[in-house]
Amino acid sequence: MPGGIGLDVGGVTRKIHSKERGMRGLKRSWRRHWQLYLLILVPLAYFIVFKYVPMANTIIAFKDYNVVDGVWGSDWAGLKQFERFFNNPVFWPLLRNTFLLSAYVVLASFPIPIILALALNEVRLKFFKSTVQMVTYAPYFISTVVVVSMTILFLSPRLGLAGHVTEFFGLGSIDFLSNPDYFRHIYVFTDVWQTMGYSAVIYLAALAGIDPTLYEAARVDGASRWQKIVNVDIPGILPTAMIVLVLGVGNVMAIGFEKAYLFQNSLNVSQSEIIATYTYKVGLLSADFSQAAAIGLFNGVINLVLLLGVNAIVKRLTGNGLW
């Protein structure tokens, strides 16, 4: 029987005989779909080579890696690399910078797309709506290098637009880029600028999926637009918002290397050095592979724990989670 859905996945659905059924399922599936198994072979090889072999390579975090002996031949070093990192005076500032920057990014980039989507959802003028959407969505496709360059050009003290504005208001020329205190604000503002339109799309889709009878009920009850937003729209997008938040918090320590590294200069490094940029420097500029792998592993594990933890909490509170 063609398309016998359910027969072949018996190994999954009926766990009691899973092994036997599983093997039989595989044989059956192989006979019918050997072409699909051949097809999937190359992509699977990709995931093994470029994703799982690196995971195995993190073993050098527990070794003294040297080029001659390679990953598997180098001597074991126990937890030495981790102790080195934890005892390094940069450890706490790094952790603090990474955490503060990403928490700020998560907090700032959470509400703004929601506000944008809720506002767009009220607009009936189609042209205006699509124009705002198109324009706010566009920066997402501009490269990080270009966004950082634009920001630097704006903020450069003598030649940039910001310099003229601050001079006009009698503040003198402020060098935003070399003052460490401005680094996080600049980073977060450009981040929100770049992603708000893109993130709003998800909420617009969620808003479009709200049951229309709820709006009719609100209308019958004489709800104002504001009341409708508070009582229908916001509860309607809450599950989506929770998922976005989980993903954001879960990635709190995985904050991107790219932009922080581009904004970094010798003057703002006290705030702009985060785990990702430090790992890059230790690993590739100082060629201390084992130390860099240890830092990367430390970061990855924290991240995984955070993601699982936040997901569990959100799931308990709201019943919505990633899985």
299 belongs to the binding site for other proteins (CB under 8 A) = yes
The candidate with the shortest Cα–Cα distance to 215, out of 200, 197, 229, is 229
CB-based contact 216:303 (threshold 8 Å): no
- Separation CA 237–CA 318 (nearest Å): 12
Site for other proteins in 81-110 (CB under 8 A): none
Near other proteins by CB under 8 A: residue from 159, 169, 170, 316: 159
For residues 93 and 258, which CB has a smaller minimum distance to other proteins in the complex? 258
Near other proteins by CB under 8 A: residue from 15, 17, 39, 230: 39
CA distances from 200 to 71, 113, 114, 118 (A): 45, 5, 6, 9
- Separation CA 99–CA 254 (nearest Å): 10
207 belongs to the binding site for other proteins (CB under 8 A) = no
* Least spacing, CB of residue 78 vs other proteins, in Å: 19
The candidate with the shortest Cα–Cα distance to 166, out of 177, 176, 180, is 176
262 belongs to the binding site for other proteins (CB under 8 A) = yes
Near other proteins by CB under 8 A: residue from 304, 312, 313, 317: 304
Segment lying near other proteins (by CB under 8 A), choices 78-86, 89-97, 100-108, 287-295: 287-295
Q: Collapsing DSSP states into helix, strand and coil, what is residue 152?
A: helix
For residues 24 and 104, which CB has a smaller minimum distance to other proteins in the complex? 24
- Separation CA 45–CA 195 (nearest Å): 33
Near other proteins by CB under 8 A: residue from 77, 109, 176, 197: 197
- Separation CA 61–CA 82 (nearest Å): 8
Q: Which helix (H) or strand (E) holds 123?
A: none
- Separation CA 149–CA 127 (nearest Å): 32
Residue keyed to tokens 């997901």: 311
Site for other proteins in 209-248 (CB under 8 A): 209, 219-220, 222, 224-226
Near other proteins by CB under 8 A: residue from 79, 146, 267, 313: 146
Q: Packing angle between helix 91-109 and helix 180-208, nearest 10 degrees?
A: 40
68 belongs to the binding site for other proteins (CB under 8 A) = no
134 belongs to the binding site for other proteins (CB under 8 A) = yes
- The angle formed by the CA atoms of residues 83, 280 and 68, to the nearest 5 degrees, is 75
Site for other proteins in 1-30 (CB under 8 A): 2-9, 11-12, 22, 25-26, 28-30
Near other proteins by CB under 8 A: residue from 101, 105, 116, 252: 116
74 belongs to the binding site for other proteins (CB under 8 A) = no
Near other proteins by CB under 8 A: residue from 109, 193, 248, 310: 193
CB-based contact 299:292 (threshold 8 Å): no
* Least spacing, CB of residue 88 vs other proteins, in Å: 17
